[in-house]
Amino acid sequence: MDARLEAIRDTVLARNPGEAEFHQAVVEVFESLGPVHDRHPEFLEAAILERLCEPERQIIFRVPWTDDQGRVQINRGFRVEFNSALGPYKGGLRFHPSVYLGIVKFLGFEQIFKNALTGMPIGGGKGGSDFDPRGRSDAEVMRFCQSFMTELYRHIGEYTDVPAGDIGVGGREIGYLFGQYKRITNRYESGVLTGKGISWGGSLVRPEATGFGTVIFTEEMLKTRGTSFDGQRVVVSGSGNVAINAVAKAQSLGATVVACSDSSGYVVDEAGIDVGLLRQVKEVERGRLKDYALRRSGVAYVEAGSVWDVDATVALPCATQNELDGDAAARLVRNGLIAIGEGANMPSTREAVAVFQEAGVLFGPGKAANAGGVATSALEMQQNASRDSWSFEHTEQRLTDIMVGIHHRCASTADEYGEPGNYVLGANIGGFVKVADAMLAQGLI
Ligand code: GLU
């Protein structure tokens, strides 16, 4: 790493102790940014990096609610409003027991660059809670969401901060959150949340967008090697919203997705995952992958081990951070991997990224490859602002254009900085320069 950046990194790490995921995200970006500061000493002068690493605002709050037995439960809520140089803070809410400030900050930090890469007018933010929706009734989830919004509402707004979903937050949760926001504020402010239902201000394609976008980005990478998804053997991790739609899109392009996973195990389905059954089990019944295996012949369910043991030519990690380590990466490379597109945020450890890059595998980092979700959220905001709703075809075309554009920006930035094919460098520099220019223009704030 560039020596000038090392000193800034050390201060950031010391100032944010115990936040391992945030440290990882910061270090990974800093490693790409040396050459930018050679060309733009004005960024150092204006302390852009130091400012970028310090969120504009961090909100932590108590979320009290009662469970179905009438017992009082307490969770912790977060919203980190990281950077508003390019637009209102924008990013999802994650409800998962692992959530603490370090996770929200890593996600918010990544979101700044991701959102910049989309070319849409959105800043970066993220939030969530250590609430675990798993095993909770609809009524419990509703009471939790209502309590969460009873504090959050005062910090958000269509021109201020626009939350959406992430792990544990889908259409059901966004509905309860929106209802409570409307009730407290007495405003039907559609643009305050994205990921809404289609009949009340949502956008077509938003549910599919992250998974679809990851596949579109990966297809663009494959094209640079004269190939495509057609005929590829694909392994996807996860079986949530991002994973399911990545499976669907990859198969629509002629690939066979032979495996996907949940936190208990993975399935191997050599005939190709049955997307209809997967949706039924995971989205309609909120069940487990084990049930998928029980209901389809020729499927193996594996409880021990890792989905990355399954050989593939293309891998799409769509579960969560640090789910793919250096050993798994080495196994995938040995088994013939040619490309990897990150549908999740930071799913590959730094060791894994190094293995892929050394082996010459096409590697699409999450902040580029999974930007389709938030980009389509920005399209939802655009429809809300103009009180319009677009067709599926039109919206999908916009998403495709945006993903192709992000690929182009990453690839051309990597070329410009003398590292062709290095999408990590391309995404980090491409996103950073856009934000840094806007921060410079807006003065010391
Ligand atoms: N949580 C998603 C992400 O990681 C989507 C955020 C949004 O739509 O605002 O980008």
Residue whose CA is at the smallest distance from ligand 1 atom 5 = 374
Catalytic residue among 90, 105, 114, 126: 126
Q: Report CA(185)–ligand 1 centroid distance (Å).
A: 24
Q: Provide mean pLDDT across the span 134-139.
A: 96
Q: Report CA(293)–ligand 1 centroid distance (Å).
A: 30
pLDDT 10s digits, 290-319 = 999 999 999 999 998 899 999 999 999 999
pLDDT of residue 155: 98
On the 0-12 / 13-18 / 19+ scale of CB atoms within 10 A, 437 is: middle
What does each C-alpha distance from 397 to 229, 364, 400, 403, 404 come to in angstroms?
A: 19, 21, 5, 10, 10
Atom of ligand 1 nearest to the CA of 345: 4
> Residue 116: CB partners within 8 Å, gap ≥ 6?
86, 124, 430, 431, 432, 434, 435
Atom of ligand 1 nearest to the CA of 166: 1
Q: Report CA(351)–ligand 1 centroid distance (Å).
A: 25
Class of domain 208-369: alpha beta
pLDDT of residue 151: 98
Contact 214 CB / ligand 1 (< 6 Å): no
Among 99, 377, 395, 406, the mutation site with the greatest number of ligand 1 atoms within 8 A of its Cβ is 377
Residue 240: closest CA among 311, 169, 172? 169
Respond yes or no: is residue 126 known to be catalytic. Answer: yes
Residue whose CA is at the smallest distance from ligand 1 atom 8 = 374
Domains 55-189 and 208-369 belong to one CATH topology: yes
Rounded to the nearest angstrom, the gap between the alpha carbon of residue 112 and the centroid of all alpha carbons in its chain is 11
Q: Report CA(256)–ligand 1 centroid distance (Å).
A: 27
**DSSP per residue, 76-110:** EEEEEEEE-SSSSEEEEEEE-TT--HHHHHHHHHH
Q: Report CA(126)–ligand 1 centroid distance (Å).
A: 8
Q: Report CA(246)–ligand 1 centroid distance (Å).
A: 15
Side chain identity, residue 188: Y
What are the structure tokens assigned to 176, written together? 């309860």
Residue whose CA is at the smallest distance from ligand 1 atom 10 = 374
Q: Report CA(95)–ligand 1 centroid distance (Å).
A: 13
Residue whose CA is at the smallest distance from ligand 1 atom 9 = 91
Architecture of the domain spanning 55-189: 3-Layer(aba) Sandwich (3.40)
Among 110, 374, 402, the mutation site with the greatest number of ligand 1 atoms within 8 A of its Cβ is 374
Contact 427 CB / ligand 1 (< 6 Å): no
The yes-or-no verdict on residue 203 having pLDDT over 90 is: yes
Contact 83 CB / ligand 1 (< 6 Å): no
Atom of ligand 1 nearest to the CA of 376: 8
pLDDT 10s digits, 92-102 = 999 999 999 99
For the chain, the structural domain boundaries read 1-48, 55-189, 208-369
Contact 90 CB / ligand 1 (< 6 Å): yes
Residue 251 near residue 257 (C-beta atoms within 8 A): yes
Q: Provide mean pLDDT across the span 98-113.
A: 98
pLDDT of residue 305: 87
Contact 164 CB / ligand 1 (< 6 Å): yes
Average pLDDT in the chain: 98
Residue 163: closest CA among 140, 181, 186? 181
Residue 151 near residue 77 (C-beta atoms within 8 A): yes
Residue 92: closest CA among 152, 17, 142, 26? 152
pLDDT of residue 304: 86
Q: Confidence class of residue 1 from pLDDT cuts 50, 70 and 90?
A: confident
On the 0-12 / 13-18 / 19+ scale of CB atoms within 10 A, 392 is: exposed
What are the structure tokens assigned to 145, written together? 């969401």
pLDDT 10s digits, 220-234 = 999 999 999 999 999
Contact 320 CB / ligand 1 (< 6 Å): no
Q: Confidence class of residue 431 from pLDDT cuts 50, 70 and 90?
A: very high
Side chain identity, residue 110: E
What are the structure tokens assigned to 409, written together? 């920006």
What ranges in 31-170 are assigned the alpha helix state H? Answer: 34-39, 41-45, 48-52, 101-118, 138-152
pLDDT 10s digits, 65-98 = 999 999 999 999 999 999 999 999 999 999 999 9
- Please list, residue by residue across 97-118, b when 16 or more beta carbons sit within 10 angstroms of its beta carbon and e when fewer do: eebbbbbbbbbbbbbbbbbbbb
Q: Which residues pair with 29 in a beta bridge?
A: none
Contact 92 CB / ligand 1 (< 6 Å): yes
Residue 87: closest CA among 118, 123, 36, 114? 123
